Amino acid sequence: MSASYAALTHLVPLAKEVDDSKVTPGVLGFIVFAVLAVGTWLLMKSMNRHMGKVTFEEAPDPAAAPKAEAAESKKA
C-alpha cells in the first residue's frame, strides 16, 4: 500500500463530514467571479493599448537651461 493511498483513505471520511446546512458560493459565485476576472483583464488590455499610444516628452528645466548654455559657450 502506497503512502498516497493511505493518505487518501484518511481524507475521504473528512470530506463526508461537510455540513449540508452551510452556505457556499456555488455556481452563481463562480460566474460572478469569472465575469469580474474577464472584465478586469479586458480593462487592463485596453489600458495597455492606450498607454502605448501616449507620447511624452519632458519639458526642459528652465533653471538648468542657463547652466547648460554657459557650459556650451565655454567649450566654444
Q: For 6-32, what is each residue's pLDDT tens digit? A: 766 666 665 566 667 787 888 999 999
Burial zone of 63 (CB within 10 Å; 0-12 exposed, 13-18 middle, 19+ buried): exposed
pLDDT of residue 51: 93
Task: Give 25's contacts (C-beta < 8 A, 6+ positions apart).
Answer: 33
